[in-house]
Chain A
Amino acid sequence: MILNDIFILMKQELMLLGIIMILLIIKVGKDWSNESLLNLINALLLINVMSGFMMPAEGFLFGDMFKTNSLITLEKNILNIGTLIISLQSYSWLKNHKHLIEFYILMLSTLLGMFYMVSSGNLLMFYLGLELSTIPLAAMANFDLEKRKSSEAALKFIISSAFSSGLLLFGISLLYGTAGTLSFTEITSHLTNTPLQIFSFVLILAGFSFKISVVPFHFWTADVYEGSPVAVTSYLSVISKGAVLFVFVSVLYTVFKPLAEVWYNMLFLLSVLTIVIGNLFALRQDNIKRFLAFSSIAQVGFILVGISGSSQMGTASVIYFVLIYIFSNLGAFGVVSLVSAIAGKENISDYRAFYKTNPFLSWVLTIALFSLAGVPPTAGFFGKFFLLIAGAEQGNYILIAIAALNMVISFYYYLRIVKSIFMDPNEHPIEKLTIPMMPKIALFICLAGIVVIGLWSSIYEYIYSLSTGF
């Protein structure tokens, strides 16, 4: 009976495990060419995505270690889709990579970690999921083995995340000491506004904040994003962040509900800081990955605004925004990854006059940036709008005003890139790139996502119907 449950409730995790096993077997077995491997893997990932939508179920497993419901399933599906897109986009980079299989094994195990984290019903599983989704990522960050920057990024990542997980653990241990349990549902009833619990909450919040790069816990982000291979950067910035955000929302809204007043104010403070600092740093970046890192920090600030709304709309808007953010950011990263892999250029100044040589890629990048900036009719507009509406629900219009004005700064730097692409002259523009099939598919998926998710309201309504409020 339990086995049956496991198969039904854990099907997404089991799918991933299966793929990891297949890859292991292939690795141990005979050599495949990279192309065929990539085809196989992408096919498997596609199956994985599709299977995620089948047979939705709801329930707990192993006590409170694992829970699932339609919202969690949806979140996992979102992550699955993102992973598939990243995998498609990384085609050019992975095609010549010697450790292709290992890369996928690591990536899928981090994804698995995220799934467990999203499904976790207690702090232990949450912590393990978090670590499972972090430690292999550090290794992945080093996958440009020849590049010093890559290992520097990996080093910074592992050291910072070890530090942050140390603090997180300390917080968890204190929470355990005051509540006597690791189970989310039981912790809630033990929470009072004692200083120690607030302190432990801050530590846990810092752990989350680290992963989603909230200022001042964000410093690793830019360095790691810049040094890592583009595939890893995009994975870090959308999938890893998205997963933690999902957990963050549900943990805040359910587990730490008694501390709502405290964390509401904290989120206010942090979101303002995050938006402002993210924007200010993004203003003057030249490396496009580093730039996207800071822009994604600012985006997280907006998400925090949405979270601070602490309502059903808050949850829905955050999930919705993450979905949009995945498509928009991956649209941008898709182009960046192609240019990086084929032309080896990663600076914004290299993108000058990009439109002359690569109109299609330019449009994709532009639309993706517009979506990130929140320009209609792209989905980003809807995402941001709803986040801010959710944030305003508490009546904190100062926060909304600050956020809205910061959107203007963010426009500046997004438009700066658009300006480079379209307007600046360049003697040596990036040459005309031939886009392989898979990245092309990925770009089209992103474009479709950017356009459709916003305008087609059913998606939001579906997410909303699954979300729970405060």
Chain B
Amino acid sequence: MNEIPLTHILFVSTALFFIGMYGFFTRRNMITILMSIELILNSVNINFVAFNKYLFPQNLDGIFFTIFIISIAAAEAAVAIAIIINMYRSLHSVDVNETSELKF
């Protein structure tokens, strides 16, 4: 296990983070944007777990942080989806580009 350097794991998380970010920037569907955010949060989770495990094993701070992030992600997703659904009712679309009534 030790032969995998920590940076490799961080490579995965960073890459995932930017993949999520790319999705966030380009996707036009609100739900897929939400999905991209999940990717971002997951990459953070990997970071926390990896750091906790390989660098600071004395405490469980990272692990706990991960747990809380996961729960918050759930809450966030719930509210976001509620809003999206509400939005969909009036807009009849989930294209984020169409939600630009408020601008300038």
Question: A: which residues have CB within 8 A of B?
Answer: 123-124, 127-128, 131, 135-136, 138-139, 142, 145, 148-149, 151-156, 158-159, 162-163, 166-167, 169-170, 172-174, 176-177, 180-182, 222-224, 226-227, 290
A154: which B residues are within 8 A, CB to CB?
83, 86
Q: Is the CB of B91 within 8 A of A148?
A: yes
Q: Which residue of A lies closest to B50 (CB)?
A: A177
Question: Provided the pairs A155-B83, A182-B65 are in contact, do residues A226 and B30 lie with their beta carbons within 8 angstroms?
Answer: no
Question: Provided the pairs A162-B80, A227-B102 are in contact, do residues A169 and B87 lie with their beta carbons within 8 angstroms?
Answer: no
Q: Is the CB of A152 within 8 A of B102?
A: yes
Q: Is the CB of A124 within 8 A of B65?
A: yes
The 7 closest A-B pairs by CB, nearest first: A173-B47, A166-B40, A223-B102, A180-B56, A177-B51, A169-B44, A148-B90
- How distant is the Cα of A139 from the Cα of B76 in the complex, in angstroms? 10
Q: Is the CB of A148 within 8 A of B101?
A: yes
Question: Provided the pairs A124-B68, A163-B37, A170-B44 are in contact, do residues A138 and B51 lie with their beta carbons within 8 angstroms?
Answer: no
A223: which B residues are within 8 A, CB to CB?
102-103
A224: which B residues are within 8 A, CB to CB?
102
A158: which B residues are within 8 A, CB to CB?
76, 79-80, 83
- How distant is the Cα of A306 from the Cα of B83 in the complex, in angstroms? 37
**Do most interface residues of chain A lie in helix, strand or loop, or is the interface mixed?**
helix
Q: Is the CB of A181 within 8 A of B56?
A: yes
Within B61-104, the residues touching A (CB, 8 Å) are 61-62, 64-65, 68-69, 72, 75-76, 79-80, 82-84, 86-87, 90-91, 96, 99, 101-103
B63 vs chain A, min Cβ distance (A) = 11
Q: Is the CB of B86 within 8 A of A145?
A: yes
Question: Can you name 7 A-B pairs with beta carbons within 8 Å?
Answer: A152-B102, A153-B102, A159-B34, A159-B80, A176-B47, A181-B59, A223-B102
- How distant is the Cα of A221 from the Cα of B102 in the complex, in angstroms? 11
B40: which A residues are within 8 A, CB to CB?
163, 166-167, 170
Within B4-57, the residues touching A (CB, 8 Å) are 10, 17, 20, 24, 30, 33-34, 37, 40-41, 43-44, 47-48, 51-52, 55-56
Question: Provided the pairs A152-B101, A180-B55 are in contact, do residues A138 and B83 lie with their beta carbons within 8 angstroms?
Answer: yes
Q: Is the CB of A176 within 8 A of B102?
A: no
A131: which B residues are within 8 A, CB to CB?
72, 75-76
Contact of A173 among B48, B68, B76, B90 (CB under 8 A): B48
B2 vs chain A, min Cβ distance (A) = 17
A127: which B residues are within 8 A, CB to CB?
65, 68
Number of interface residues of B (CB under 8 A): 42
**Do most interface residues of chain B lie in helix, strand or loop, or is the interface mixed?**
helix
B79: which A residues are within 8 A, CB to CB?
135-136, 138-139, 158
Q: Is the CB of A166 within 8 A of B65?
A: no
Q: Which residue of A lies closest to B47 (CB)?
A: A173
- How distant is the Cα of A153 from the Cα of B65 in the complex, in angstroms? 29
Question: Provided the pairs A135-B76, A170-B17 are in contact, do residues A163 and B69 lie with their beta carbons within 8 angstroms?
Answer: no
A135 vs chain B, min Cβ distance (A) = 5
Q: Which residue of A lies closest to B66 (CB)?
A: A173
Contact of B83 among A142, A170, A290 (CB under 8 A): A142
A159: which B residues are within 8 A, CB to CB?
30, 33-34, 37, 80, 96
Q: Which residue of B lies closest to A161 (CB)?
A: B76
Contact of A169 among B30, B41, B84 (CB under 8 A): B41
Q: Is the CB of B24 within 8 A of A176?
A: no
Besides the known contacts A152-B99, A158-B83, A166-B20, 5 further A-B residue pairs in the complex with CB atoms under 8 A apart = A149-B101, A154-B86, A158-B80, A163-B24, A227-B102
- How distant is the Cα of A167 from the Cα of B48 in the complex, in angstroms? 14
B48: which A residues are within 8 A, CB to CB?
173, 176
- How distant is the Cα of A162 from the Cα of B83 in the complex, in angstroms? 13
Contact of A142 among B20, B56, B86, B99 (CB under 8 A): B86
B68: which A residues are within 8 A, CB to CB?
124, 127-128
